Structure 1
């Protein structure tokens, strides 16, 4: 009996049930230096896992794949221009937002799917991604499809409603699905959902974006470069034209 109890305890320690990890989570190490060989290797391995995700393969091979295009926001933007960007600069790096997201969008910009990885350095409660971070990711993902449907392709968030359905565990890939709900002049309503790779709903949201009256005076070029917007809206890029894997330097020996 004692040996059975010892075995059960050992297995429980190595593979704790989900509720136990919520109550007494394991403390994750702090995010590493992005230039450290271990961080570079981690990012490279994560990119490889991303490219092999069944959900991404399914999107790329579905029967209507020719009606969609693929892009990687932030990848064509010089690093110095992202220094003050929250999701493109401040939160970028190993154990945070380690990779540029993959966006699969319909060519008519009526819906899109965003796949990204959220690391252990983005938590509120240990091991659980901060709800405010999820709201930010929803705002950006919904904003992308909203702005691309506005007359001058630029807008601001009027409201964002988020309903959290389940805790979002850190260190996993998440899928954000967005769609256009209603377009009325300078106003556009959109909605979306965050799911894990198994399709479990983690959060839902709806939002209203408005194009400011002074939109024509603004230069939206840099904004659209960050979003990975096609150069010609009538001829969106085909898969691969804007989606190379991040240029990750080779791992140096310690």
Structure 2
């Protein structure tokens, strides 16, 4: 009797349970559509803030074209104009830095990766500008880093940043020690923040330590406003 009663009870309980099952409503696609729209809008804003159409196309348009190509000349002129009007350029001149041209007399044997392989449209399309303070022996270099130098999308590869920082340090060694060549002993970097492509970066020497033929430099790489430090590093060289 008890077993039969339990079976009846279970059947009743099951029937009662079925009465209260409510079908779940289908999820709305509205949230997904809003998310897609927001992501597209954000990406579009990001791209337009940090690159021009010419910057983007330089990665593809100007490969293997003559140096006197009209489109390439206009692209370089546009970059030069942007460089001339950077706030940091005006500030450097106001605080006593002098523009110098330390690589003008270099022969091909002494030129660095920046001066050769990377000096292409979409890479480092125009020559960097250098400023020097003879009193403090501090050097500042301004480089334009294009789309071809990215690792992750829109972000400059860490190896390129190391190359640029070493390039500026080598210039600083030549100026501080009055030599035409030097040897890199080691380079240590600390990446603080991702570096966006298609912008100018400012590399500056913050401290110079001399010990005979050896010299140690402290440097930082900043965004084109000079307000945010992206990379810090030290380098040791022998003259």
TM-score, normalising length: structure 2: 0.71
What's the counterpart of residue 11 of structure 1?
A: 41
8 Å CA contact retained: 1:174, 1:196: yes
1:174 corresponds to which of 201, 212, 233: 201
Asked if 1:87 corresponds to 2:114, the answer is yes
CA RMSD of aligned residues (A): 3.1
8 Å CA contact retained: 1:83, 1:90: no
What's the counterpart of residue 211 of structure 2?
A: 184
Asked if 1:69 corresponds to 2:98, the answer is yes
Asked if 1:200 corresponds to 2:219, the answer is no
Map 1:43-192 onto structure 2 (within 5 A): 43-62=76-95, 65=96, 68-75=97-104, 81=108, 85-108=112-135, 110-150=137-177, 152=179, 154-192=181-219
1:77, distance to aligned residue in structure 2 (A): 5.4
2:170 aligns to what SS in structure 1?
Answer: helix
Unaligned runs of 5+ in 2: 1-29, 48-55
1:168, distance to aligned residue in structure 2 (A): 0.8
Q: Distance in 1 between matches of 2:130 and 2:102?
A: 8
What's the counterpart of residue 12 of structure 2?
A: none
Q: Distance in 2 between matches of 1:90 and 1:202?
A: 24
TM-score, normalising length: structure 1: 0.67
- 1:204-247 residue CA offsets vs partner (Å, 9 max, x unmatched): 00111112xxxxxxxxxxxxxxxxxxxxxxxxxxxxxxxxxxxx
Q: Distance in 1 between matches of 2:218 and 2:210?
A: 12
Higher relative CO (CA 8 A, sep ≥ 6), structure 1 or 2? Answer: 1
8 Å CA contact retained: 1:148, 1:154: no
Unaligned runs of 5+ in 1: 18-25, 212-254
Larger-gyration structure (1/2): 2
